[in-house]
Structure 1
Amino acid sequence: MKHRALLLSCLLVLCALLAACGPSNSVRLLAVTPDKTVLPSPSAATVTVVKFDDKRPDPSSIGLRRDKSYFTTTDDAREWAGRAAANALAAQGFQVAYAGTTAEAIKGKPDYMLTGSLRDITVTEDSISSFTTTVTVKYALANSQKTLLTETLSSSQTHTGLPSSGAVENCLRQTLAEIVKSMAIKVADRTGR
């Protein structure tokens, strides 16, 4: 009987420790860096990426936990997505600049301008050891005369394993990386790169 009580109390302590190791409600948006780096040629097309808009209803909330509390971030999601797009385009060999506004981008007279908006960033805690991340981005590529390409891209990933804040943050980074890589390839195809 004493052995059983000791085992039960050890299990309760272990469960409490695992719950404490779970993801925090505050999530950092980690920078997305390209898989490879490419030095653009002097004749490479110039693209200016404009800081993305955030069309989500509550920009500070990025998902719901099982206890009905929210995953939140204090990081600038617009900057996170825009910089990720710029890095992905640079990896395709473009000469890339980044601008805070469309007016700033136009002043630089780039060959192309990429604008975008965040439509969704969601982390859903499915269980104590599983969560799903979803990111949706709408972007437009234009030259000085017209819009060349408009598309909405979405990606979701599920992570199962030991719960931690780092796992949530890395999964969000990988989800956005998948989107911007696809975006950069489509931009390169559209511009004949």
Structure 2
Amino acid sequence: MLSRYRSVIKKGNSSCRFLSENLNVEVAQNFPKDTRVQVIENCTIKKIHQTNKKVTGVETDQGIIKCEYFVNCAGFWARGVGQLSEPYVKVPLHAVEHYYLHTKPLPSLDAMLPASSKERQLPEDWDHFHVLLEQLIHSVPSLDNAVLDKLCNRPEAFSPDCKWIVGEAPEIRNYLIAA
């Protein structure tokens, strides 16, 4: 996404972006100093300002930041950030719980399954997960003898078609979405 808008930034425009701590921001942080890219972190967004349906700034708990571009890359929280502007920027994400189960190694299953990094954890809910566990054991009978290690419940968000939402919002010019 940054490569698409790099020419805009090179013209000397300032850029304001909301970044969550789990995003890789090295590209923006390594732009030459003359691009005037500013990465603002560790603040709470209160409102996205616009004039004539074009981004003009972001109000945070640390004050108002004037900018010409805003990138909503808040992931799980992108829909809520979209509602901080007037008119609302519609980000069609649905927040859900995403369970997965850790077991001790099973000789009958490939140990090279993808692993994820530590992220925010939601509370375990074995009663809620039990229906899925029964179906899982029915599909993979060897799991019936598995020693259950830990149930993980992580937040996820999905678009209606399960694809990324990337591009400029139709409601406000220069309001970019990467969710």
Q: Could you tell me the TM-score, scaled by structure 2's length?
A: 0.31
- The structure whose residues are more often helix, as a share, is 1
